[in-house]
């Protein structure tokens, strides 16, 4: 092995120079020439010498030889090529009792050699196949399969003779292994022909006619069809299905064979009932539909309906739901079908959305999501229509349908498509989160329903958290819509992804500069009136809840100071990092709550002092009042809101507003509820820090309203015990 390591190091130093590697300009790489080719040949020869008489480590040497041949396009001398082929075939024939691993690696060497010596390798493989040497036929078939998979277009000139040889191999395949290997080779060579039909203008060799290439496929189709009846092993059946789909795709390109292909399609769809694993049927179907797209041929109506029904039925199977891989392949079939017959496909989906079962609606939305993901030009034009179709089921009560709609919205947003404007998809995400939260809070759900609602909540967060704000049109769509959802208590669980998304928008704005209208929020759409007072400081009072929403809220404030108020930029740049530093390393149990509340209130007070705007502070106090009315009873947020409101009123210069607010809360509080009484004391005492006389007069005015009755009775009748909070 020491010599092998020396050779490996030597070739690593030489790199790609020996061969006619292409430079960036498409020409031959600098340094290629006779000397470099000689060095390349010397390395290959040294590795061949290493294989002489070596039993242990042959597989490793073969892999090294495959790597060397695969890295260089240089032409070797015919004597070296002949020697590589001879050594590899010696192991393929198992003359030395080679293991299956060694024979597989020897086959890989032949495939790598074909990079620059395709004609020689194919000729030898064809000759060996025609010789009917069954002991090594399987690995010859594997080599032919891999050749067509790696060098599809280059192999087309050899397709006619190779497919004829494969017909003989199929007719005499005496074992399941040989039948599977032969079908795999047939599939790849037919796929190569279909690739040629799609890209024939890129080929350097003379054009080959469809009739010429289809001629050897027809008898192959018969042989493979007969094999289906006698094969029982699932792996062999899957190989037969793959070969059938690829051959049917080739026959579409010759008018005289097209009818045969459509007949075989109905046979293929029937196999959904017979095979244990339907993925093979779907993979074969997608290969065929891809050929239909390339052939640009009309689909008979009977076959069109059969394809739509079969694919949709597989997607809707609730007894044996398709695996993720199978589901993706089914959606690919639906996308290809939409490219072939767009109008019929849309009508079919519309009918399923309007009158189908729950499974029908889920499948239809999933197909529409796949259409958005496909990013084909013809589908992008229809994105507004797709969005409108999905909007028709956005009020569906079934959790599975709601999640399908959310996944569709996520795809639509990631695409940056104009279809997003068909309805406010951002609002729908938050609406679904609130809907799920309300159902969970009701306590009337069974275990399965509760699990579904939590899944809806997680999906809402995922949709928002994976948004790419750099996608075209997304920045304009999101700003300022997302700002509306920063504060409301019912959206608290979405605060972390929401803040991250807004921070990304702000970062994009900063990096692009004000000159790019697309990403400058002020140039996109003005913030709603009063929206600048939606300061998410309250969310930070329980900083470790909902995945760390406190840090997220503070980072959002740090990213958007100009949106809140232009005067706070420098102060927040200095103070917010200190607050974040205080949070770092703490947990929900280790954080000192009273100290943290004190820091947040101090931050709020200093911010209001810097702003120094009477109108702004009045707006903030009203915003806090609204939050107080909607926040959960007995929550930390509600307790903190009383203190924050008192702090805002203390900073407010409009004395009339301060007096109105304090009198209002004094009158509306239910003093039989201890937490409301404590909250009211917080409001008045903090207000009194700056407006002592005004607070005192408000208390006196309130007490004056109680004089006609006994105080205890009056206090109890101000609000019934069932009152849940102050009105915003």
* Rounded Cα gap, residues 181 and 653, in angstroms: 86
- The pTM (predicted TM-score) of the whole model is 0.75
* Rounded Cα gap, residues 82 and 87, in angstroms: 9
Query: How many CB atoms lie under 10 A from the CB of residue 162?
Result: 24
* Rounded Cα gap, residues 297 and 257, in angstroms: 13
pLDDT at 707: 57
pLDDT at 408: 94
Rounded alpha-carbon distances, angstroms, from residue 52 to 46, 55, 407: 10, 9, 59
CA-derived radius of gyration, the chain:
36
Query: Encoding tokens for residue 390?
Result: 């999905």
Rounded alpha-carbon distances, angstroms, from residue 634 to 418, 494, 638, 660: 44, 21, 7, 25
Buried b (16+ CB within 10 A) or exposed e, 18-35: bbbbeeeeeeebeebeee
* Rounded Cα gap, residues 317 and 327, in angstroms: 11
Half-sphere exposure of 348 (CA within 13 A, CB side): 22
Phi, psi of 371 (to 5 degrees): -65, -40
* Rounded Cα gap, residues 265 and 245, in angstroms: 8
pLDDT at 246: 94
267: CB partners within 8 A, 6+ apart: 225
pLDDT at 523: 39
Rounded alpha-carbon distances, angstroms, from residue 488 to 136, 191, 221, 538, 615: 72, 56, 65, 10, 22
Q: Coil, helix or strand for 566? A: helix
Selection from 628, 629, 697, 632 nearest residue 662 by Cα: 697
Query: How many CB atoms lie under 10 A from the CB of residue 628?
Result: 24
88-94: which pairs have CB atoms within 8 A and are 24 or more residues apart?
A: 88/62, 89/124, 89/128, 89/136, 91/58, 91/62, 92/128, 92/136, 92/139, 92/140, 92/143, 93/133, 93/135, 93/136, 94/135, 94/136
Rounded alpha-carbon distances, angstroms, from residue 75 to 28, 39, 118, 580: 13, 12, 11, 64
Q: What is the mean pLDDT of each run of 10 residues along the chain (728 residues)?
A: 36 34 36 61 86 79 88 84 88 69 87 91 88 69 93 91 88 80 93 90 78 89 80 86 94 90 92 89 94 88 91 92 94 92 91 93 95 78 88 93 95 74 81 92 91 94 84 70 74 84 80 50 43 64 80 86 82 90 88 89 90 87 82 77 87 86 79 77 83 79 64 43 37
* Rounded Cα gap, residues 111 and 168, in angstroms: 22
* Rounded Cα gap, residues 213 and 201, in angstroms: 16
Residue with tokens 């120094």, as numbered in its chain:
612
Sequence length of the chain is 728
DSSP designation for 156: G
> In angstroms, how far is CA 162 from the centroid of its own chain?
40
pLDDT at 435: 93
Q: Coil, helix or strand for 22? A: strand
CA angle 163, 164, 169 (to 5 degrees): 90
> In angstroms, how far is CA 724 from the centroid of its own chain?
43
* Rounded Cα gap, residues 406 and 365, in angstroms: 10
Longest dimension (CA), the chain: 119
* Rounded Cα gap, residues 540 and 547, in angstroms: 12
* Rounded Cα gap, residues 189 and 103, in angstroms: 22
Selection from 111, 183, 171 nearest residue 147 by Cα: 111
| DSSP bridge partners of 28 | 22
Kind and range of the H or E element at 406?
A: helix 399-415
Query: Encoding tokens for residue 155?
Result: 């192999």
Q: Is 390 exposed, middle or buried (0-12, 13-18, 19+ CB in 10 A)?
A: buried
pLDDT at 163: 92
pLDDT at 428: 92
């Amino acid at each position: 092995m020491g010599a092998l390591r020396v050779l490996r190091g030597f070739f690593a130093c030489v790199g790609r120079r020996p061969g006619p590697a292409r430079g960036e300009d498409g020409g031959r790489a600098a340094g290629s020439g006779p000397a470099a080719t000689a060095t390349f040949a010397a390395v290959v020869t040294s590795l061949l010498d290493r294989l002489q008489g070596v039993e242990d480590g042959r597989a490793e040497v073969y892999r090294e030889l495959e790597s060397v041949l695969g890295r260089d396009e240089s032409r070797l001398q015919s004597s070296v090529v002949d020697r590589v082929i001879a050594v590899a075939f010696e192991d393929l024939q198992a003359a030395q009792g080679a293991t299956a691993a060694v024979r597989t690696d020897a086959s890989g060497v032949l495939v790598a050699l074909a990079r620059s010596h395709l004609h020689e390798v194919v000729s030898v493989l064809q000759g060996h196949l025609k010789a009917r040497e069954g002991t090594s036929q399987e690995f010859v078939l594997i080599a032919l399969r891999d050749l067509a998979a790696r060098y599809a277009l280059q192999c087309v000139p050899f397709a006619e003779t190779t497919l004829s040889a494969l017909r003989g191999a199929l007719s005499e395949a005496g074992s399941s292994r040989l039948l599977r290997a032969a079908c795999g080779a047939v599939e790849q060579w037919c796929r190569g022909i279909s690739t040629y039909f799609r890209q024939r203008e890129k080929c350097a060799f003379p054009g080959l006619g469809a009739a010429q290439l289809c001629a050897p496929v027809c008898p192959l189709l018969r042989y493979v069809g007969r094999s289906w009846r006698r094969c029982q092993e699932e792996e062999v059946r899957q190989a037969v299905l793959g070969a059938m789909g690829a051959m049917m795709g080739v026959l579409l390109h010759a008018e005289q064979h097209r009818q045969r292909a459509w007949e075989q399609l109905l046979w293929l769809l029937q196999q959904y009932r017979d095979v244990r694993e339907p993925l093979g049927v779907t993979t074969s179907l997608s290969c065929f539909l891809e050929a239909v797209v390339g052939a640009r041929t009309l689909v008979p109506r009977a076959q069109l309906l059969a394809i739509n029904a079969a694919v949709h039925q597989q997607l809707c199977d609730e007894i044996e739901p398709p695996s993720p891989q199978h589901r993706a392949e089914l959606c690919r079939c639906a996308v290809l079908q939409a490219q072939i017959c767009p109008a019929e496909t849309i009508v079919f989906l519309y009918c399923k959305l309007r009158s189908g079962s729950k499974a029908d609606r889920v499948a239809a939305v999933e197909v529409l999501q796949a259409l958005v993901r496909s990013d084909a030009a013809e589908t992008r034009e229809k994105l507004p229509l797709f969005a409108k179709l999905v909007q028709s089921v956005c009020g569906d009560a079934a959790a599975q349908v709601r999640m399908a709609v959310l996944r569709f919205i996520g795809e639509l947003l990631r695409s940056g498509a104009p279809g997003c404007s068909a309805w406010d998809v951002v609002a729908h995400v938050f609406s679904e989160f609130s809907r799920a939260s309300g159902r969970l809070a009701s306590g009337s759900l069974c275990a399965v329903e509760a699990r579904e609602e939590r899944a809806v909540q997680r999906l809402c967060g995922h949709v928002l958290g994976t948004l790419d704000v750099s996608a075209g049109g997304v920045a304009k769509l999101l700003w300022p819509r997302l700002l509306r959802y920063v504060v409301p208590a019912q959206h608290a669980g979405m605060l972390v992804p929401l803040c991250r998304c807004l921070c990304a928008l702000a970062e994009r704005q900063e990096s692009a500069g004000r000159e790019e209208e697309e990403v400058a929020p002020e140039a996109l759409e003005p913030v709603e009136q009063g929206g600048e007072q939606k300061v998410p400081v309250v969310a930070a009072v329980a900083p470790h809840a909902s995945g760390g929403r406190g840090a997220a809220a503070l980072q959002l404030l740090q990213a958007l100071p100009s949106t809140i108020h232009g005067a706070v930029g420098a102060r927040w740049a200095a103070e917010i990092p200190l607050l974040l530093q205080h949070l770092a390393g703490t947990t929900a149990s280790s954080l000192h709550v009273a100290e943290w509340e004190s820091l947040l209130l101090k931050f709020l007070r200093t911010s209001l002092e810097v702003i120094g705007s009477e109108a702004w502070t009045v707006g903030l106090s009203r915003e806090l009042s609204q939050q107080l009315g909607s926040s959960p009873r007995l929550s930390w947020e509600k307790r903190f809101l009383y203190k924050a409101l008192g702090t805002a009123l203390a900073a407010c210069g409009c004395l009339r507003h301060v007096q109105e607010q304090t009198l209002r809360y004094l009158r509306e509080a239910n003093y039989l509820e201890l937490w409301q009484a404590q909250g009211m004391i917080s409001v008045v005492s903090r207000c009194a820090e700056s407006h002592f006389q005004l607070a005192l007069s408000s208390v006196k005015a309130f007490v004056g309203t109680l004089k006609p009755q006994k105080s205890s009775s009056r206090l109890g009748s101000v609000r019934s015990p069932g009152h849940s909070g102050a009105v915003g």
